[in-house]
């Protein structure tokens, strides 16, 4: 059932009879030149100045300003509100007789900010060096693919290049840009929307009456915070009939004009800011989520580049060890053959030395191939062409033990992590959708008010002034006899809310599990590094002793070969463990929300 109450007043009422703001008639003659001039300027600008490149530049300006504003809102004071885990009350005792791991770091843990120490300080780094790639401008220090001298890459330089040239990084930047670009349209739709048209129509009828007409309209509309829609429109029309000469301005011309104001306000379903501005609210929150996700990507990407960099360093060390092992194997083979010639060795010793030389050469060939592949993959990650010549600075990752209280670390992660902030906000989104689905069950009850001024049609433009008014008041009420779809949507929203709550609880459990596992893994790696350091020291002594015994004739060639291989394995394992510990420590920084990455990709606490 729909009921409507409407009323209309006769046109015989003139503007001069109205009170208040409508006491004086509106002079179309006074405002017409101004409107025409403004519209002419706008049309000229649109046809000459608003090129495709202008629109692209305008979009960039608006989106970059928008993103800078929201990034400052979301991340600007992050260092002020993050918490840090408490230091461990008692450090675990040192096992064995090896070096004390605690002596590696000299950082204080008094302020709680250095218990997960980091070896980099982004404030002391220079600005990133831009690399000339795919036609981009080359800054001083940049090297092209065809450069004769290889580019020397340390970790800060590699991170700077990655955050400037990496294709993956640019893809994520563009995803953030597109999210901001979409929000600009959403925000625009909830602001005052202007519209204006200029029209002309000429009709030529055989053996009939010829006529032409022109029109000018201008209007604006706005979605109100109450859920209503307010629109204002105006029109100026002119026409002439029986015109044998189209360009004869002395023909009789008729003018008329109008102004209209319309308001539609829901009272039940769709009323209020939450219901009417849902797309604006969700669009803004989605932009915030994307900013947080991009910040987490920057942290993950920095860790990935650093991990790959130090894995390359590790492969460099392994390759150097394999090269030294091959040279030693060649020397041992030649020595074994020489000793066999003077009957100081057996044939088995010569065969063993030859086989070890073959195995060492085979391992060296595999190591070189693997290193070149890893180097090419690293170039692709940084956004460099694979033909670019680069050298990796063999900096070993700094070993900083982690001393944190596990339970405190978990609580810090709950408070700091950006993805958990997003998860909590998404849970609020689900709760809001339940309220909106509940609102959709209400009946439609809308009030419509329309106020219109019209003029008489006159041959004189100055007399075509709106002076007759008409007011319409309408009330629409819908009896909700068909709410099956809305009922199902409401029930689905309720179930979705329960699922979201379970998912959030599961996410908290997973975060706790992962944090505790990372703390345990770091403690395990530190013990393994300590054990491997002791083992390498023992293997070095074993090689020295076996070498002396072998030269004295008290040990055979097999003993010497086994001792040297054991030392090579211990050296390679120690490098790999240090790289693994370094990456795990950065990952713990990220997962507790205390990692901050600057524009160059360097991290700091």
Measured distance CA(151)–CA(105) in Å, rounded: 32
Cα-based angle 509, 512, 518 (whole degrees, multiple of 5): 140
Q: Which of 180-184, 379-383, 402-406 has the lowest mean pLDDT?
A: 402-406
Query: Quick one: DSSP state of residue 450?
Result: E
Looking at residue 413, what is its pLDDT?
95
pLDDT at 90 over 90: no
pLDDT tens-place string over residues 336-394 = 888 778 777 677 778 888 888 899 899 999 999 999 999 999 999 999 999 999 999 98
Question: What is the number of residues in the chain?
Answer: 605
Q: Which of 4-18, 279-293, 402-416, 441-455 has the lowest mean pLDDT?
A: 4-18
> 525 or 42, which is more confident?
525
3-state secondary structure 274-320: HHHCHHHHHHHHHHHHHHHHHHHHHHHHHHHHHHHHHHHHHHHHHHH
Looking at residue 529, what is its pLDDT?
93
> 597 or 17, which is more confident?
597
Q: Which of 264, 262, 200, 213 is nearest to 234 (CA)?
A: 262
When pLDDT is cut at 50, 70 and 90, the band that residue 47 belongs to is: low
Contacts of 488 (CB under 8 A, 6+ apart): none
pLDDT tens-place string over residues 477-529 = 998 889 999 999 999 999 999 999 999 999 999 999 999 999 999 999 999 99
Is there a contact between 301 and 166 (Cβ–Cβ < 8 Å)?
yes
pLDDT at 64 over 90: yes
Q: Which of 299-313, 411-425, 458-472 has the lowest mean pLDDT?
A: 458-472
Q: Which of 507, 530, 524 is nearest to 585 (CA)?
A: 524
> 554 or 4, which is more confident?
554
Q: Which residues pair with 596 in a beta bridge?
A: 604
**Residue 461 half-sphere exposure toward CB, CA atoms < 13 A:** 11
Looking at residue 491, what is its pLDDT?
97
Looking at residue 107, what is its pLDDT?
35
Looking at residue 115, what is its pLDDT?
47
Task: Report CA Rg, the chain.
Answer: 39
Torsion, CA 52, CA 55, CA 61, CA 62, rounded to 10: -150
Please state, rounded to an integer, the average pLDDT across all residues of the chain.
81
235 φ, ψ (degrees, to nearest 5): -150, 145
pLDDT at 588 over 70: yes
Q: What pTM was estimated for this model as a whole?
A: 0.78
Q: Which of 23-32, 153-162, 405-414 has the lowest mean pLDDT?
A: 23-32
Looking at residue 87, what is its pLDDT?
85
pLDDT tens-place string over residues 218-251 = 999 999 999 999 999 999 988 876 655 545 555 5
Burial environment of residue 244 by CB neighbours within 10 A (0 to 12, 13 to 18, 19 or more): exposed
pLDDT at 217 over 90: yes
Measured distance CA(456)–CA(454) in Å, rounded: 7
Is there a contact between 390 and 151 (Cβ–Cβ < 8 Å)?
yes
Q: Could you give the C-alpha distances from 131 to 165, 228, 241, 307, 562, in angstroms and in order?
A: 7, 54, 70, 21, 47
Contacts of 542 (CB under 8 A, 6+ apart): 563, 566, 567
Measured distance CA(81)–CA(128) in Å, rounded: 28
pLDDT tens-place string over residues 410-445 = 999 999 999 999 999 999 999 999 999 999 999 999
Q: 79-93, 187-201, 497-511 — which one is most confidently predicted on average?
A: 497-511
Q: Could you give the C-alpha distances from 572 to 34, 298, 585, in angstroms and in order?
A: 82, 30, 20
């Amino acid at each position: 059932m729909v009921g409507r109450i409407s009323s209309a007043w006769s046109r015989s009422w003139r503007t001069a009879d109205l009170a208040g703001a409508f006491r004086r008639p509106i002079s179309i003659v006074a405002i017409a030149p101004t409107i025409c001039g403004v519209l002419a300027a706008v049309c000229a600008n649109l046809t000459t100045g608003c090129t495709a490149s202008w629109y692209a530049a305008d979009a960039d300006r608006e989106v970059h300003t928008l993103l800078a504003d929201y990034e400052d809102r979301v991340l600007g004071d992050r260092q002020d509100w993050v918490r840090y885990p408490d230091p461990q009350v008692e450090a675990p005792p040192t096992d064995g007789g090896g070096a004390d791991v605690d002596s590696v770091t000299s950082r204080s843990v008094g302020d709680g900010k250095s218990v997960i120490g980091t070896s980099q300080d982004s404030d002391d780094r220079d600005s990133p060096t831009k690399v000339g790639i795919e036609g981009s401008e080359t800054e001083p220090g940049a090297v092209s693919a065809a450069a004769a001298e290889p580019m020397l890459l340390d970790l800060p330089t590699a991170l700077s290049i990655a955050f400037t040239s990496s294709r993956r990084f640019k893809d994520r930047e563009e995803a953030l840009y597109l999210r901001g670009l979409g929000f600009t349209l959403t925000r625009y739709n909830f602001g005052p929307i202007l519209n204006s048209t200029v029209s002309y129509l000429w009709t030529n009828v055989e053996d009939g009456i010829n006529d032409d007409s022109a029109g000018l309209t201008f209007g604006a509309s706005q979605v109100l915070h109450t859920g209503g829609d307010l629109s204002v429109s105006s029109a100026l029309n002119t026409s002439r009939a029986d015109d044998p000469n189209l360009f004869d301005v002395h023909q009789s011309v008729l003018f008329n004009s109008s102004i209209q104001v319309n308001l539609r306000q829901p009272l039940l379903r769709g009323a209020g800011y939450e219901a009417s501005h849902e797309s604006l609210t969700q669009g803004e929150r989605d932009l915030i989520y994307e900013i947080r996700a991009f910040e987490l990507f920057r942290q993950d990407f920095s860790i990935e580049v650093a991990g790959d960099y130090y894995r390359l360093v590790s492969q460099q060390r392994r390759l150097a060890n394999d090269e030294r092992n091959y040279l030693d194997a060649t020397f041992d083979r030649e020595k074994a053959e020489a000793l066999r010639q003077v009957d100081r060795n057996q044939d088995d010793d010569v065969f063993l030395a030859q086989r070890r030389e073959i195995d060492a050469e085979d391992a060296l060939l595999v190591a070189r191939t693997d290193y070149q592949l890893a180097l090419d993959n690293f170039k692709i990650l940084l956004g460099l062409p694979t033909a670019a010549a680069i050298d990796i600075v063999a900096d070993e990752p700094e070993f900083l033990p982690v001393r944190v209280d596990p339970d405190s670390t978990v609580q810090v992660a709950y408070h700091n992590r950006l993805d958990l902030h997003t998860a909590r906000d998404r849970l609020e989104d689900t709760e809001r959708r339940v309220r909106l689905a509940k609102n959709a069950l209400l009946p439609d009850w809308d009030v419509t008010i329309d106020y219109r001024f019209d003029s008489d049609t006159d041959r004189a433009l100055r007399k075509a002034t709106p002076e007759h008014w008409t007011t319409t008041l309408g009330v629409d009420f819908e009896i909700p006899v068909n709410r099956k779809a809305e009922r199902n949507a409401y029930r689905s929203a309720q179930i979705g809310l329960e699922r979201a709550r379970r998912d959030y609880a599961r996410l908290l459990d997973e975060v706790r599990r992962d944090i505790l596992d990372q703390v345990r893994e770091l403690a395990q790696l530190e013990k393994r590094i300590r054990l491997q350091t002791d083992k390498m020291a023992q293997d070095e002594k074993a090689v020295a002793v076996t070498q002396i015994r072998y030269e004295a004739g008290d040990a055979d060639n097999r003993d010497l070969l086994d001792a040297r291989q054991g030392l090579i394995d211990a050296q390679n394992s120690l490098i790999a463990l240090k790289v693994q510990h370094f990456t795990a420590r950065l990952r713990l920084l990220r997962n507790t929300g205390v990692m901050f990455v600057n524009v160059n990709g360097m991290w700091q606490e």
